[in-house]
A and B are shown apart, each in its own frame.
Chain A
Amino acid sequence: MEFSEHIKTANVEDVVLKLPFQPPMRGTLCVTGHHLLFSDRAEEREWQLLLLLRNIDAVEKSVENLLGYPQHPKAGQSQRTTGSSGTIIIKCKDLRILQLDIPGMEECLNIASSIEALSSLESITEMYPFFHRPRELSLNDPWGLSSPEQDYVQTERLWDRWRLSKVNSDFSVCPSYPGAMIVPRTVDDDALVKAARFRQGGRFPVLCYCHHRNSMVIMRCSQPMTGANRKRCREDELLLQAVIDESELGYVIDTRSAQQAQQARMTGGGFESKSFYRPWRRIHRHMERGKVLQESLIKLVEACGDPSHNMDRWLSKLENSKWLSHVHSALSTAGLVAECVERDGHSVLVHGSDGTDTTLLVTSLAQVILDPASRTFRGFLQLLEREWVQAGHPFQQRCARSAHSHARLRQECPSFVLLLDCMWQIWRQFPLALEFSEALLLRLAQEAYASDYGTFLCNNEQERCTLGVKENTHCLFQFLLRCSEREKYINPLYEPTELAIWPSVQPQSLQLWTGLFLRWTEHAETMAEAREEIWTIIKEHRERTGAEETTHTPPTHRDTFTAVENLMDELTIL
């Protein structure tokens, strides 16, 4: 592939870059196959901006001819071009907006068209992760944190009733599932194949979480293809029957409204009817998806980008975007799932229509609520790997464009951003319960749209295998877990708790995630300083605790106490 075809002007001098909260900078702009590079050569400071072209969502250009022809009829060609200039406004997928003032109309147009072409290349193997070769990482490093096989081997409580099935090892049963899955022990592979035919996209019910306290499970799948004629599938029914004991009940949480589920039958989809799935109770919780969610994000970002709003206008724009309502419904549906499992002690099956968006959102949030392991740094990344990357959330389609793009929407949908927002809300309410900080969520929000790493490339494991993603790119999760990176994303206040953390879903408890949506609009310097201060307090505390522990050397500590005690007695006497 030739990136150079797209690059008509590679270098421009004397470009002025304007970033929020910074004085304009003058320097050299350079377009490469994957990056936009700006370097400020002012002597007192070496400043560089390296922007992944993939991160660019929209480019707006305007050119003006300052001198114009009429006033300078005799001016030469060169003079005319120096007199003209252009401005490019770059809107990034991480919501940053930057402005470049480029001398020379032609250069400006060239740069703009290069950016447009290079930022929307569709071929995955041409993307930067396939070229990113940092010195400290090797392609032989392990890719990914875990696999269904490892998960199964490590979770002893599953062995009794669950087994690992490799029926999908060639991705023929379900193209969007990974090669191995955990299914009820009593159901054989043939039955799985048949059940898969009955589910949209072949996504038959599989285990995603087994609760550590009561071994109740959360499973997920896609909608059953009952259609208008109320088709049945014996194997699918048996599969679900095998999940729970005869005497028990289970819940099917359908992330569509009852009406939507009914309508889905017209297009071949449907829901589990009461008569065929006896022990299962169905609860419908409507959650928005697809275009509606994307439009919500676009509206919210637009509202956050306009500082001229007065109070009322801002609130009505915020309301109008409905983003917080989506946060609310995601959290409360996840809460419901967790409630079924923990409080009522029943297993739950979650699905919507495709089982690749709202389903994953709900199952992963429910796990964070229930499972202390998924609240650790590593555990959370494992959760994302398992429930999003391996479970086949189509990142490539969903994150192709973000909120600024004028391109026509296709498959874009900010499901993953919504998950991160919900995580942020949980962190706000339980600031001690998560081992990672807001910074990790922000980093992930950025990486999902444009990354140096291969983790979020492709739509499912099959595509990743075909393109050799794991062999030819580095893994983001592995990278984040390296000590040097890890430190940036740790929550200093973390105190593990074994209990479930039930987030409040009252509207008064939900807040706009300013860290993400106003990241580039608001100056958060004072907040960062305060966070530093908290860090310092904690460090001091740790040092002192450490110091105290060292004084507690076992052979003498008892003596020391006695001595202290005596001193105290003396003091009280005095």
Chain B
Amino acid sequence: FVHVRLLIVEQVKLLDRFSNKSTTGTLHLTATHLIFVESNATSAQELWVRQLLCTKLSLTTSGCPLLIQCRNFRVVHFVVPRERDCHDVYSSLLRLLRPVSYDELYAFSYNPKQNEQQRDEGWQLIDLGAEFERMGVPCDQWQLTDVNRDYKVCETYPRDLYVPITASKPIIVGSSKFRSKGRFPVLTYFYQERKAAVCRCSQPLSGFSARCLEDEHMLQAISKANHNNRYVYVMDTRPKLNALANRAAGKGYENEDNYSNIRFQFVGIENIHVMRSSLQKLLEVVGTRSLSVMDYLVGLENSGWLRHIKAIVDAAIFLTKAVTVEGASVLVHCSDGWDRTAQVCSLGALLMDPYYRTIKGFMVLIEKDWISFGHKFADRCDQLDGDPKEVSPIFTQFLECVWQLTEQFPQAFQFSEWFLIQIHEHIHSCQFGNFLGNSQRQREELQLKERTYSLWDHLLSEQQLYLNPVYSPSFAETHPVLEPSTQPWNFKFWRNMYHQFDRSMHPRQSILKNTVMLKENSKELESTVRELQAVSTFSFTLFKPPSSKLQKFGVSTSPLELHSQQKERTLPPRPQSLILGAPLSRKEAQQEDEEEEVYGEEAQEDTPVGSGEERTVEGSSATENGYGEIKGSFGSKSEPAIVSLEFGVARMTC
């Protein structure tokens, strides 16, 4: 299916977004990746074509600039010496960016060298039937219904749905006809302790006065299924104004007079269009070069992004309180019930249930509330060339809300933010099948389980990379329900997400990385000690062993080396990430270089680009921080080439 010729362009310059430095290298374009290989370097940077948005800028004296914005918030600025080459890359990218059918996506050609059985096992890792069983469903009040077995009642819902025992088939069908897109109320989370249910649906087609007895019965059934509290909270997650406007289109919201035992509540989360433009504004602000603190804060405020994040968390807290404190069942909906509803239901469940705060549990949560209930990943993430108005960072917001919670409860989550960022990476990468398409039905039609691989399998196989070192399972026992503070100052800009690839933004040393290393090192040392103790009783002398093997054990062959060994802290291979600091080996290499370098900055002042070495700690350096331009003969020196190697992306698969 590769209909693009493989392009190779040499002598391309890569400019850093926030400083004046640049590196030169060769640009390769394949069907799925854009790869930049630096000259005199062994490593390469990869960009996923699927994730790109590119713009060609006007020609300058140094060449033709090509600005590429990736969906993982990476911004790359190339300067191609010849305009013709630049145009070739640009037009090829444009073609690649607009796949017409799913078959063109990378997931269908990606092969991690697994056999069929392994692939099937990967897909079977997450079992939603088992998940509902874990919650205690089916039970005496809730049952599995087969009404949607063939996607006849609602084609965007999964096949297996859970409804109250008293909701008969005619009621379900009737209710679904009264709900937008047929998305009638179904169970999504069951809070066993209080027997309270979290249900979800879409808006009712009530218009100004329409009623539907079956729908009223449906809510009645939900109310009856909870003996603790007869009241059902109906959360309309939209702003009231939006809901009112929908009435004119024959949609709307529940009239409290027509439904007995409901408490109706608007929550006020804005729609996908507002969210899209909010993120755009945010990215514009934080992408500005030499941004002042004032402009940053004003821009942050004007973008409204954190206000939206807070609104979602507020809604989830409202939901959680109703369920856990009052023991009431809650029905959540928005317009179609696949964006805001998914956000609020999943975040609420995360607050209520410690299981969802584990790595596996979090996957289950996403599988349940997002994938199976039909969040339109294909449209929202622009997987195929679709309507740009359908694109919106709804899932990104969910991940950010979770991140905000991890900041407030550092011990509550088994995973670190790196896990969240990896998931975000893959909703756009289209490397795995999980997020392809808009609904379960579509995924079955695409035969994803037979033709693609599961992301969850991949992430679980390297889960030690995503562990939160300070996670405490006992925290879950003392805090089964999280009660986050909603003070505005607790909502922070997620720098590691939106500036993941901008190295000048990051803390220069990472507590996360360090603690992870200490922990791993501890484990290793412990086993070494045990082994040493076991064998130290033997006293045979043989040849001096080659030290390499021992070093794998973290053991050095001489007392002198011991110290340096500990400092090195060998680690299992991990994705190179700027959040986790510069890759270890490179850091050391760099330090060695520096030690060799004799002091003599003066002498190097007029040497060409890239030769001035700087002493840095994990890539922090004076130039890129731009404290100020020094006038006179000390013009700004270019960064050494070696530093920007650390741009590395996560994978090298191709």
Give A residues with C-beta under 8 Å from B. 213-214, 249, 251, 281, 283, 285, 304, 307, 309-316, 318-319, 322, 324-325, 327-328, 332-333, 335-336, 338-340, 342-346, 428-433, 493, 497, 499-512, 514, 518, 521-523, 526-527, 529-530, 533-534, 537-538, 540-541, 544-545, 547-549, 551-552, 554, 556-568
Contact = CB atoms under 8 A, between A and B. Distances in A.
Contacts of B543: 562
A523 B555 CA distance: 44
B541 interface: yes
Contacts of B495: 508-509
A273 B301 CA distance: 43
Contacts of B412: 526
B409 interface: yes
A534 B511 contact: yes
B625 A566 contact: no
Nearest to B591: A499
Given A310-B488, A509-B505, A562-B541, A530 B470 contact: yes
Given A336-B627, A560-B536, A545 B525 contact: yes
Contacts of A493: 511, 514-515
Interface stretch (B122-130, B417-425, B613-621): B613-621
Nearest to B407: A527
Contacts of A332: 625, 627-628
Interface stretch (B81-89, B253-261, B303-311, B456-464): B303-311
Nearest to B518: A541
Interface residues of B, number: 97
Interface string B529-545: 10111011011111111
B298 to A, nearest CB: 6
Given A319-B294, A537-B469, A563 B536 contact: yes
B291 interface: yes
Nearest to A506: B505
B470 A533 contact: yes
B627 A333 contact: yes
A27 to B, nearest CB: 29
Given A311-B307, A315-B306, A333-B627, A500 B615 contact: yes
Given A314-B489, A344-B630, A526-B410, A562 B529 contact: no
B288 to A, nearest CB: 10
B485 interface: yes
Contacts of A534: 469-470, 511, 515
B310 A311 contact: yes
A504 B506 contact: yes
Contacts of B470: 530, 533-534, 537
6 contacts: A315-B297, A322-B293, A333-B628, A493-B514, A502-B508, A548-B529
B630 A340 contact: yes
3 closest Cβ pairs, A-B complex: A507-B296, A335-B627, A314-B488
B532 A560 contact: yes
B621 A502 contact: yes
A541 B306 CA distance: 39
A255 to B, nearest CB: 12
A514 B492 CA distance: 12
Given A563-B535, A566-B542, A567-B535, A312 B301 contact: yes
Contact of B622 (A325, A342, A430, A510): A342
Given A283-B630, A522-B485, A558-B557, A537 B538 contact: no
B550 A325 contact: no
B508 A501 contact: yes
A568 B548 CA distance: 12
A340 B304 CA distance: 40
B508 A430 contact: yes
A533 B292 contact: no
A530 B294 contact: no
B169 to A, nearest CB: 45
Given A502-B616, A533-B472, A335 B625 contact: yes
Interface in B489-535: 489-493, 495, 499, 504-511, 514-515, 518-519, 521-522, 525-526, 528-529, 531-533, 535
B153 interface: no
Interface of B: 18, 286, 291-298, 300-301, 304, 306-307, 310, 408-412, 469-470, 472, 475, 485, 487-493, 495, 499, 504-511, 514-515, 518-519, 521-522, 525-526, 528-529, 531-533, 535-536, 538-546, 549-550, 553, 555, 557, 559, 562, 566, 594, 599, 601-602, 614-617, 620-623, 625-628, 630-634, 637
B462 to A, nearest CB: 21
A301 B201 CA distance: 44
A510 B507 CA distance: 10
A548 B532 contact: yes
A561 B557 contact: yes
Given A433-B617, A548-B532, 5 more contacts: A249-B632, A281-B631, A315-B300, A324-B293, A507-B293
B488 A309 contact: yes
A152 B538 CA distance: 57
A336 B485 CA distance: 39
A566 B539 CA distance: 12
B627 A339 contact: yes
Given A541-B518, A551-B529, A551-B532, A213 B617 contact: no
B535 A560 contact: yes
Contacts of A558: 544, 557
A344 B633 CA distance: 10
Contacts of A309: 488
Nearest to A533: B470
Given A281-B631, A283-B628, A561-B557, A544 B507 contact: no
A502 B525 contact: no
B555 A318 contact: no
Given A431-B510, A499-B615, A312 B566 contact: no
Contacts of A544: 522, 525-526, 529
A562 B540 contact: yes
Contacts of B528: 548
Contact of B625 (A344, A505, A527, A533): A505
Contacts of B306: 311, 315
Contacts of B411: 526, 529-530, 533
A343 B546 CA distance: 42
A547 B525 CA distance: 9
B35 to A, nearest CB: 28
B298 A319 contact: yes
B507 A430 contact: yes
A335 to B, nearest CB: 4
B627 A505 contact: yes
Contacts of A526: 408-412
Contacts of A338: 622
Contact of A507 (B292, B472, B506, B632): B292
B555 A502 contact: no
B631 A507 contact: no
Residue from A309, A508, A509 having most chain B Cβ neighbours under 10 A = A508
Given A502-B625, A564-B550, A345 B602 contact: yes
Contacts of A500: 615-617, 622
Nearest to B527: A544
B278 to A, nearest CB: 12
A315 B488 CA distance: 8
A327 B620 CA distance: 19
Contacts of B291: 506-508
Contacts of B292: 325, 328, 507
A527 B410 contact: yes
Contacts of A556: 536, 539
B509 A429 contact: yes
Given A213-B599, A560-B536, A339 B507 contact: no
B515 A311 contact: no
A318 B297 contact: yes
A118 to B, nearest CB: 34
B504 A506 contact: yes
A432 B514 contact: yes
A251 B629 CA distance: 13
